Amino acid sequence: MNSGTLEAERRAAAHGSAGGWSGRLAAWCPRPPGIRGRNRLMAVWPVIGVLIACGARSGAAEYAVATAAELENLPALSAGDRVTLADGDYDAVDATIEVSGTAGNEVEISAATAGGARFTGGTRIVLSGEYAVVSGLSFDGGGGPVQKEGIVKFAADSSHLTLRNCLFRDFDGAGQTDANWLFVEGYDHLVTRCSFIGKTSLNSTVFIKPTEGAGTKTTPRNHVLSFCYFGPRTVIGDNGYESIRIADSTKQDYEMHCLIESNYFYQAISSNAASEMEVISNKSRGNIYRGNVFEDCDGQLTLRHGRNCVVEGNCFLGTGGSRESGVRVIGTGHTVRNNYIENVNGDGLRSAICVMDGEYGLTDNQYEGVEYPVVEGNVIVNCKRPMNFGENKGLNDPPRYVTLKDNRISNAAGGPVFEIEADVDFTLVSGNVVYSANGNYGDVGLLAGGYVIDPEVDVSRPFDDIVERDETGHEFDDGVAGESRDSLGIELIAGEGGRIAKLSFPAEGGRSYQVEVSEDLVKWVAVPGVIEATASEVREVEVGLDGLESGGQVAATDRLFFVVNAYQEPAVEQLAWVESGGEVVIEAEMFTSRETNGDSGDWVVGSDAAGAVDSYIETLSGSSATWESGAEVSYLVRFSTAGTYYFHPRVMADDGSSDSLYFGTGGSLAGQCNTGTTTGWAWDNNESEEIVIPSAGNHWLTVRRREAGLRLDRLVLTMAEGAEYADAGPAASARVPTIE
C-alpha cells in the first residue's frame, strides 16, 4: 500500500479538493440539439478508473498472531510495525490496540488471507492512536458486540486510521442487544470497501460521534466512508436503526465535515412494520453525501439536525413501496442537487424531496426551521409526491429563502408534482421542467413562477448498466483502486467547426490526463491530446462533438458520457539500510544514488584491491573538490533512534594527498574525514567525526569526494562513543524496501 497516496486521497476527499485524487472523473450531458429546458451536469454512478498505487511496506517489527490471546496482548505498535492474523477463528476477543504510525509509515494489521481471520463470540476491538490500516477481517455470524460502542471502535484519541476490506454480517448473536457495529471517534479516519449486512439489533450500523468536548466543535473531523455495502436490515423498530448516523442532537452544532461517498444501500431498512425512516441520519454540520445508491430501502437520507450539508449525485431506486423516500431537509444552508430519484411512492415526510416546517434557530431535539436551502438539478421520475414544501410537525416556521431551479420531474402515471403545505418563501424559481400525465401539478403559483410543462422531459438515467450490488455478501478485495470524484464540469458551446463540449476538471500537479467520450458506457474513444498538469489547478479541454464516433452515431445520441483518466508515474521503490541498536553498517558499493555535481572525477565500483569485502567504490581522478563541487554517493538509511552518531569508514588511500572525504546528511555538510590511512584497508576510528540525525525515520547519508585516489569499502554509523573496528568489521545491516 502506498500510504502516502492513501493519506493524500483521504484529505482531498474530505475537503473536496483535487489533491490526491486518482482514477476517473465522470459526468454525462444531454445532446445539445432538441433538448428542452436547461443543459445540466449529472454525475454517473460510479464510473471508476483503476489507478494502482502500491509500494512495499517499510516496517520495524513483524507480529504473527494466531489466537485471541495473542491479539489481546500485542504491545504498543510503532511506525512500520506489521501484525498478521493467521486464518482461523478468534473467539471472544476483547482487545485495545495502541498504534503510533506516521503518514508515510503506517502500522498495518491484516488477515494473512483476506477474510480468513474470522471473529466469533462476544467481540470488542478498540484502536487507539494514529496512522494504522486494518484490513481483511471477517465478523461473520456466531458472535456480537460486547459494548454499546461497537464491535470495532476508533477511540477519541485516534486519528488517521483506516478500516478496509472487512466484513460485518449477522453479528448480533452475542453480547449487547443495542450496540453499534462500528463506532468512530477522533479525526481523519477512512472506512472503505467494507460490507455491513444483516444487523437486527437496535442502534446504528456505523455511528460517527464527536466525543472530544465542546472546545472542539469548530474542528472538522474529516472522516471518509466510501465504497461500502450496506445490505438488508429487516428487523427495524421505532427509532435508532440507521445505517449511518453522524453525531446526535446534542452535537448538532459540531462541524464534522465528513464525506459519505460511493456507497451502496440495499434494503438497508426493509420492514413494513418499521417506523424508523432514516437510512442515514445527519445530525451535524458540513457533511457531504455524494454518489451513493439507495435501492429498495424503506427509508431516506435525512438531514435531521445540523447545517450546511450537501446531498449530490445520489441515486434512489424505489420499487413503488409507500415507505420509500429520497431526501428530507431540516435546518439551515443545505444543498440537494443532481440526485436521481425513481419510483419512490411515499408522500408527506416520505416524499422524494421533503423540505419541512420547523422553528428558525431551534437547536434542541425538535425541528430547526429551514432557511436558504438549494434544490437544484434533480431528476425525479414516477414518484407519488416528487416535492413537498412545508410538511408540518407542530412547528410553524415555513421554509424560506428557497432556491428551486433546473429540476426535471416526470410522472407518467399522473399525480401532483408539488405539495405546498405552508407559506413558503421562494427566493428563486427557474429553469425547472415538469410533466404529469393527468396535468396535476399541485401548486399553480409555482408553475406561474417559471416552470415549463413538457411531456418530453429528458429523465433517462445513466445508471442501468453499471449499478451493481453485492448479492452474496462480501467479495474480499486485496487491490487498491482509484476512486471517482464527481467534479467534472461541462459547458456546451457552438464553435466554428460545430458543437463543442468544454470540460473543466480539477488536476493535480505531476499527473497526466486523458479525456474519453462514450454514448453507451461500453465503447469509448479517446480525445486526441494528453494534458500534463504541473500544478494543482482546474484545467479545461474542448471536445468537438460533430463527427465524433464512439461505437455508433454520437451526433444522434440522447446523451454523451465523458471520463477524465488520471495517470501518474509510480513512486520509485528504494532499499533503505536499517539502523538497529544505535548502529548501521553499510556496504559502500550498494549506494542508493550517485551524482557527479559537475565534478571531473567520479565514484566508480572497483574489485581489484585485495582485502575488500566484496566490491568497493573509488575516486581515481580530479583535483581537490569542495563539498559543493565533489562527486557524491548517497545511502538511504532508516533510523529508529535520533541523536549523535560517529562516522567510521573503512578505506584505502594511495598517499597522504588522497586520504580524505566529506560526509553529511539532508544535503548539508556534517564533517570532513582525514583517514591518514596509506597501508592497506583500515578503519578510521577518529572520534571527532560526528553526524547528527534529527529524527527517527528515513534520512540520506551522503559521501562526497575531496581528493582523488581514495577507495571506500564500508561505512559504519554508531552511537557508541569510543567504538573501534578492525579487520572486515561487523556484518552488514539489513535493507528494507521503501517508497521515497
pLDDT at 445: 62
DSSP 8-class letter at 653: E
DSSP 8-class letter at 48: -
pLDDT at 550: 44
Q: Distance between CA atoms of 606 and 51, rounded to whole angstroms?
A: 42
Q: Distance between CA atoms of 362 and 232, rounded to whole angstroms?
A: 35
Q: Coil, strand or helix: which one is 556? A: helix
pLDDT at 667: 86
Task: Give 515: exposed, middle or buried? Use CB within 10 Å, 0-12, 13-18, 19+.
Answer: buried
b/e per residue, 619-637, with b = 16+ CB within 10 A? beebeebebebbbbbbbbb
pLDDT at 666: 85
Spell out, as residue ranges, where the chain has pLDDT lower than 50.
1-58, 462-467, 480-486, 550-558
pLDDT at 428: 87
- Give the number of other Cβ atoms within 10 Å of residue 283's Cβ: 25
pLDDT at 365: 84
Which DSSP string do the residues of 240-304 spell out, in sequence order? ---SEEES-GGGTT-B---EEES-EEESSS--TT----EEEEEESBS-EEES-EEES-SSEEEEE
Per-residue H/E/C for 75-101: CCEECCCEEEECCEEEECCEEEEEEEC
Pairing of strands 697-705, 660-665: antiparallel
Look up residue 141 and give its three cell numbers: 455470524
pLDDT at 138: 96
Beta strands in 568-631 (DSSP E): 573-578, 583-587, 593-595, 604-606, 616-619
- Answering whether pTM is above 0.85, one says no
Number of H helices, E strands in the chain: 3, 61
Look up residue 48 and give its three cell numbers: 471508476
Look up residue 381 and give its three cell numbers: 421520475
Beta bridge partners, 311, equal 289, 336
Beta strands in 454-536 (DSSP E): 489-495, 498-507, 512-518, 525-526, 531-532
In 635-707, where does DSSP find H-type helix? Answer: none
The answer to whether residues 228 and 199 touch, using CB atoms and an 8 Å cutoff, is: no
Q: Coil, strand or helix: which one is 6? A: helix
Look up residue 274 and give its three cell numbers: 418499521
Per-residue pLDDT tens digits for 213-236: 889 999 999 999 998 999 999 888
pLDDT at 472: 66
Per-residue pLDDT tens digits for 572-617: 667 889 999 999 999 999 998 888 888 878 888 887 788 888 889 9
Q: What is the dihedral of CA 157, 161, 164, 167, to 10 degrees?
A: -10
Q: Distance between CA atoms of 250 and 439, rounded to whole angstroms?
A: 45
pLDDT at 529: 78
Which residues are CB-neighbours of 569 under 8 A, at least 6 positions away? none
pLDDT at 739: 61
Look up residue 410 and give its three cell numbers: 416526470
pLDDT at 559: 56
Q: Distance between CA atoms of 113 and 111, rounded to whole angstroms?
A: 5
- Give the number of other Cβ atoms within 10 Å of residue 605's Cβ: 13
Q: Coil, strand or helix: which one is 54? A: coil
